[in-house]
Amino acid sequence: MTNRMGNHTATCALFSAILLFATGLASGQVKGDASGDGIINATDAAMIRDHLLEKSPLTGAALTRADTDGDGKVRMADLVYVNNHFYKPPVKGISGRIDLPTGCPLSPTGMKIIGPGGEATIDAKWQFTGLPAWNTNCGLFVFVEDAAGSSILMGYVDPAEVSTGTLILTPTHFALALIAMHPACFNVDDRQRREILDLARANPDFPILVQLIIQALQTNPTHLADYNTFPQIYELAAAIGNAAAQSWTDSSGAPAPSAAPSLFAQVGRSGDPHLEDWPSYGMTLVNPHLLFYGVGWGSASNQWTVLRGKDGVTQLIPPGWAPDVRKNVTLANGNYTVNVWKGQGAFFSSDPVQRAAAQANVIKTILLGLDTLAPPGWNIATGIINNNELIERLATNPSQDKDALVSMWAALNLSSGDDWFRVLKQIVEMVVGEGDYVGSGMQKIAHLVYGMADTDGRALWRYFKAANSWLDTLIKVVKIYDILNEFVPYFVQVFFYQNQYVYSINVNNGILAAGWKRIPPTVVLTASTATPRVNESVSFDATATTDDSDPLANLYWFLARICG
């Protein structure tokens, strides 16, 4: 036991030593300013990230400046420091007004304007002051919220409009917001999004869309978010968005989104519940966790374009980029089941879509493990420097297996555990410095992992595969911790009882919603419906039982097979 606890102490020291923040730069240099421009910003973070990814090694003075703790190496701790010390210009309040058309029956009483930086009260003249400034380098969603907390109006604001500290929100912003919620706009960085919106503005039908919104504001403004009340508005916005996405060519000359700008770009307030008030929220992705399946707005309320990610592994692509990976389907009102992926064989499938699903779900599992195993209040963006707390928690676990677990954890030394640190630094680099986020650390990381470019995504996946020693620890923790109730809601549908969960799509008057649907434990799909198709009815055999009798062993087998 002494040996094991000695190893434990050594491991704690190792974690602390690697992640200590210190000083040590030469006089006159800004610690962390890799670029040498005098401030710490996303450029410096990107340079350190590329150094860690071995894509563009730092040398000379840049390497010295990037070594924030003075240990002679540029490591994850340096990236954490840089992302936590971004230069922030003085915050100024934004003033302005909501410019509604004459005859609009809305009353401003009790209303406020919500932005990613905060909120401000709207006065009797629809004016506001003191709206906290946000990142003026990217466009953002703003909402006008009533006294009950519902978003009545939604606008998309170009960063140039707020740089002066004045914002006049008009029906044009409301029209842009509907198009900015187009799936194509949600899967590119903000510079690219604004290029698509510029094309939308130039569409001859855009003024018609604005006029329809003005008429809606004059007749029934509280139902502007309701598709059933104003279907023509949403259909026209969809058509304009589709046309813009299909005609767009990236100004940088690259046909695929770049991961670097999106890592540090905010679009509205992450996890903002107001987005759920608007129909296109459910249209963003058919499968937000599996990365590669998406739905584009069609020309009619029941017409959809089903997209597959480029090569099955990268971001979704707008319609028109790759006709071979999309197809149009007609969905009437009702529920549909889509067979995304079931079974371990998908990881080795020749189908790139199934392969991508398997990879994405394994990444999801690992990230969930990090989120679930953390001590209460542990934040993966900052708590990574306090792994001794996590080790201590594991060491004091009353389970009979605790000694073996501590020994296994202590065995993660630099010779076998370097890949473990590579995994962590890749995760942390995508998390810190991203701005405020409402949600768990896992949700944050998953969002960023699934937004990576193909090259970075594959590199990260190699690190995950190399971290098998840590995955073994994760499996053991699952066995000895009474945390299955925390795990089950998130990934049991993928790994534990694959035949008991199906991915369900619901269409209701053009509004698409999707998610996992649990089949009762005593029911599985029959052979005839094992691969259900769109518009195909799904029947169940209530006499059948699941063949996943040992889900934990099944999970272990899968991870060991792909990571061993």
Are residues 402 and 457 both part of a single domain? yes
Domain boundary among 238, 254, 270: 254
- Assess whether 391 and 520 both reside in one domain: yes
180 closest CA partner among 216, 149, 206: 206
In a domain, residue 16? The reply is no
Beta bridge mates, 169: 98
Range of the domain at 54: 22-84
State the pLDDT at residue 356.
43
- 105 and 203 assigned to the same domain: yes
User: What are the backbone dihedrals phi and psi of residue 132, each rounded to the nearest 5 degrees, phi first?
Assistant: -55, 135
Query: Does any domain span residue 276?
Result: no
In the prediction, which pLDDT does 42 show?
76
Give yes or no: residues 125 and 176 share one domain: yes
- pLDDT per residue rounded down to tens, the chain (564 residues): 334 334 434 334 323 332 222 333 344 578 889 998 888 887 887 788 777 666 788 999 999 999 988 888 887 667 767 866 777 665 568 899 999 999 999 999 999 998 766 789 999 999 999 888 766 666 777 888 888 777 788 888 888 887 778 899 999 999 998 887 654 564 456 677 788 899 999 999 999 999 999 999 999 998 887 767 887 887 788 778 777 876 777 676 543 332 222 222 222 333 344 444 443 332 222 222 222 233 333 333 333 333 333 322 222 223 333 333 333 444 445 555 443 333 334 444 554 444 444 444 444 444 434 443 333 343 333 333 333 333 333 333 333 333 333 333 333 332 333 343 344 444 434 333 333 333 333 333 433 443 444 344 444 444 444 433 333 433 333 332 222 222 222 333 333 333 334 444 454 544 444 444 444 433 333 333 333 343 333 332 222 223 222 223 333 333 333 333
> Looking at the structure, do residues 32 and 130 belong to the same domain, yes or no?
no
Q: What whole-number distance in Å separates Cα of residue 393 and Cα of residue 27?
A: 41
**pLDDT attached to residue 286:** 25
The pLDDT value given to residue 173: 96
CA–CA gap between residue 330 and residue 300 (Å, rounded)? 9
Q: Do 491 and 365 belong together in one domain?
A: yes
* Whether 131 and 157 share a structural domain: yes
**Look-up: residue for tokens 């420091």?**
81
Question: Does the residue 268 lie in any domain?
Answer: no
| pTM of the full structure | 0.42
> Do residue 351 and residue 398 come from a single domain?
yes
Q: Is residue 185 part of a domain?
A: yes
CA distance 114 to 118: 6
Helix, coil or strand: residue 127: strand
Domain boundary among the residues 254, 280, 313 is at 254
Domain boundary residue, one of 254, 280, 310: 254
On whether residue 260 sits in a domain, the answer given is no
Query: Is 1 within the bounds of a domain?
Result: no
Name which of 395, 417, 398, 393 is nearest 406 in CA terms.
Answer: 395
What is each CA distance from 546 to 38, 501, 542, 550, in whole angstroms? 61, 11, 11, 10
Domain count across the chain:
3
DSSP string, 461-525: HHHHHHTHHHHHHHHHHHHHSS-HHHHHHHHIIIII-GGGEEEEEEEETTEEEEEEEEPPTT-EE
Quick one: 59 and 101 in the same domain?
Answer: no
Locate 402 and state its tokens. 């605790």
